[in-house]
Chains A and B, each alone.
Chain A
């Protein structure tokens, strides 16, 4: 199939003077899982509600499999869009059993067919024994799986998930999100899920879109939005990051306090002599104990799996370095920092 499952063009939504979604373009393809990553108030939930049809765009249009479903003057109602949605609170119907919840979207099927599909959906989420339970008799994780089964049962072309894991404790989150990924992949259903948690976004999505103030700043594979964020703003959202100033030379080389770094840039090419700022992730910064080094360990944060050391350079800049958990460098010790990466660093034009 050539058309994307979901296509948003110049999608805009205003609430009064606030631009919740700002001229946003987005294509989601069959079988693809797209995460929309953004802080609260970034407009990511509004985006989902626009796609679902609960909000009408102020401008722009939405197509589902090449059929226009929303424009500013008319909209296909949500029930006719073949889109599924799982909300943060799951919204299971409290007065219906698990079975009836799942059967809710299947009312157009003949009864026998419907029962078969409910069984399939229950099997998919491995809750075969729970069909007669009421939602309040389920744990949070079970509720979430029922919500997913209910959404998938009618075979929607796309599933929208709004912060699907935020109501669960962290140990369960990891297990469940892999489970959800497995289920989505097995159905080859396209999915868009919004989250404020980058780990969650990276873990199960094919592509991650980064949203700030209603704008989709970058959408790409998890690796690319992490390693090559389109702007310092994106970088701040996709990872723990520090910046170091430098001056460009030719061939993508930038001279910094940490020496000469090979960089690519968000703009086509940084002209030699142009000021720049280079993104340094904690993983990129090596520290070698050296009484004559140009940095000092300002603080250390032991986290179990690793330890984060904050280094203050003589210039006053601070950088963070992630070391293995048995690193014993104490706070106050002098170090020689060096930036090491198997691929180019990311650089952005900067003011002097």
Chain B
């Protein structure tokens, strides 16, 4: 006769086992495609998060009948994953947050058809035709609204001025920031860039891990200005309303601080669904998808004829720097400079 004590002890164990058994059958993969007009599958590795691109991916599924399965992650993690998978990667498409990751992985990508590339401006695609920009984002200076018009910085250079000591935030680990520094090296030259970086450090610049907390910090007045991409602010505005205490400053001076760059996508050479992958990219460059980016993620559409969000200055107005975007792939040089100047360890 089993004792009461042993029954007591067996009960939770049995419960756990039963739960585990029940759970083992749970959603192992996404549901099997069953729609009529089933056109096979597509594996998308997305460095852009589901909260941003989930709806437009769903639109693609519905429009195409292609069962697109997505792995979401941060761009850098996804990039490293693809690198580790090497030839055995199940991915068909890599959608990245920034051109840096795309540049680093370019040798793994298949060349894209010319008409697809030509849908976007020349600055928004890979010079070798291996990736294409899907949406655009601008570098801005986010500032606390307590600053008056004349208190705002006029240029990046100005931020090394003692007046800004301890009042600036930047995210040196952020890939877009790195692209900006790369642009800086080409526009200003190596020495001036180095001097600026050192000046910023001497000026007690606040280091943040990424963009979002900088925007939050600027709104809270923890820092007065921060170097970020433009669209984070709009997410805060949407959630917190107009009293949110930060706004964007577009430098618009043709310097590295007014850089516009892309989030882009590429097709992996090793992917098994090349045709579906191309459909996916074409869909993302279609009016439907581009309209979505403009309206829902506050990004810049890259094809002709789509209006920019009314809160944003249009791309034509933004005086982006005149720079050969191929040069922006030299992330290693930037990495070295940032390390030499002590911006990163």
Give the interface of A toward B (CB within 8 A).
Answer: 95, 97, 100, 132
Q: Report the Cα distance A199→B6, complex, angstroms.
A: 43
B residues near A100, Cβ cutoff 8 Å: 3
The reply to whether the CB of B5 lies closer than 8 angstroms to some CB of chain A is yes
Bound form: Cα–Cα A330–B1 in Å: 68
Query: Please, which residues of chain A bring their CB within 8 A of the CB of B5?
Result: 95
How far apart sit A97 and B3, CA to CA, in the bound complex (Å)? 8
Please tell me the number of chain B residues within 8 Å of chain A, measured between CB atoms.
Answer: 3
State how many angstroms separate the Cβ of A99 from the closest Cβ of chain B: 9
Interface of B, secondary structure class, is: helix
The CA of A97 and the CA of B1, in the complex, are separated in Å by: 11
Residue in B closest to A132 when the chains form the complex, CB atoms: B3
In the assembled complex, the CB of A198 is this many whole angstroms from the nearest CB of chain B, namely 43
Q: How far is the CB of A47 from chain B (nearest CB, A)?
A: 37
For the complex, what is the distance from the CA of A95 to the CA of B7, rounded to whole Å?
A: 12
State which residues 1-38 of B face A: CB under 8 Å: 3, 5-6
In the complex, which residues of chain B have a beta carbon less than 8 angstroms from the beta carbon of A97?
3
B12 CB to closest chain A CB, in angstroms?
Answer: 15
**Taking the nearest CB of chain B, how far is it from the CB of A153, in angstroms?**
18
> Which of chain A's residues have a CB closer than 8 A to the CB of B3?
97, 100, 132
A100 to B1, CA, bound (A): 9
5 tightest Cβ-Cβ pairs between the two chains A and B = A97-B3, A95-B5, A95-B6, A100-B3, A132-B3
Shortest Cβ gap from B203 to chain A (Å): 67
Within the assembled complex, what's the spacing in Å between the Cα atoms of A246 and B229?
109
Q: How far is the CB of B290 from chain A (nearest CB, A)?
A: 68
Chain A residues in 8 Å Cβ range of B6: 95
Q: Considering only CB atoms, which chain A residue lies closest to B3 in the complex?
A: A97
Q: Complex formed: what's the CA distance from A95 to B6 in Å? A: 8
Min CB gap B4→A, angstroms: 11
Residue of B nearest to A100 (CB): B3
Among B236-259, those with CB < 8 Å from A are none
**Chain B residues with CB under 8 A of A95:** 5-6
Task: Convert B96-130 into 0s and 1s, putting 1 for each residue whose CB lies closer than 8 angstroms to a CB of A.
Answer: 00000000000000000000000000000000000
Quote the shortest CB–CB distance from A278 to chain B (angstroms).
63
Q: Provide the bound-state CA to CA distance between A95 and B5, in Å.
A: 8
Inter-chain CA distance A132–B5, complex, in Å, is 12
5 residue pairs from A and B, CB less than 8 Å apart? A95-B5, A95-B6, A97-B3, A100-B3, A132-B3
- Docked pose: A262 CA to B5 CA in angstroms: 69
CB distance from A103 to the nearest CB of B (A): 11
| A100→B5 CA distance, assembly (Å) | 13
A13 to chain B, nearest CB (A): 39
Given the complex of chains A and B, what is the CA–CA distance between A95 and B3 in angstroms?
Answer: 10
Provide the bound-state CA to CA distance between A176 and B70, in Å: 75
Looking at the assembled complex, report how far the CB atom of B338 sits from the nearest CB atom of chain A, in whole angstroms: 58
Least Cβ–Cβ distance between A311 and chain B, in angstroms: 63
CA distance A97 to B5 in the complex (A): 10
Please give me the residue from chain B that is nearest to A99 by CB atom. Answer: B1
With the chains together, A127 CA to B330 CA distance in Å?
86
Q: How far is the CA of A132 from the CA of B6 in the complex (A)?
A: 13
Q: In the bound complex, what is the Cα–Cα distance between A132 and B4 (angstroms)?
A: 11
Question: Complex formed: what's the CA distance from A188 to B49 in Å?
Answer: 79
| Residue ID in chain B nearest A97 by CB atoms | B3
**Nearest CB in chain A: distance from B9 CB, A:** 8
In the complex, how many angstroms separate the beta carbon of B174 from the nearest chain A beta carbon? Answer: 57
Q: Give the docked Cα–Cα distance between A124 and B85 (Å).
A: 69
Bound-state Cα–Cα, A260 to B7, Å: 77
What is the minimal beta-carbon distance from B11 to any residue of chain A, in angstroms? Answer: 15
Task: Report the nearest A residue to B6, measured CB to CB.
Answer: A95
Chain B residue numbers with a CB within 8 Å of A132 are 3
Instruction: Provide the bound-state CA to CA distance between A100 and B2, in Å.
Output: 9
- B160, chain A: closest CB distance, angstroms: 70
Whole-angstrom CA separation of A100 from B6 in the bound complex: 12
- Inter-chain CA distance A122–B3, complex, in Å, is 19
Q: Which residue of A lies closest to B2 (CB)?
A: A100
CB distance from A131 to the nearest CB of B (A): 10
Within 8 A of A (CB), among B303-320: none
Q: Min CB distance, B79 to chain A, in Å?
A: 53
> How near does chain A come to B298, taking the closest CB pair, in angstroms?
63
Q: In the docked arrangement, what's the CA distance between A104 and B6, Å?
A: 15
- Shortest C-beta distance, A296 to chain B (Å), equals 68
**Smallest CB gap from B9: residue in A:** A95
Report the minimal beta-carbon distance from A2 to chain B, rounded to whole angstroms: 45
Measured in the bound complex, the distance between the Cα atoms of B4 and A95 in whole Å is 11
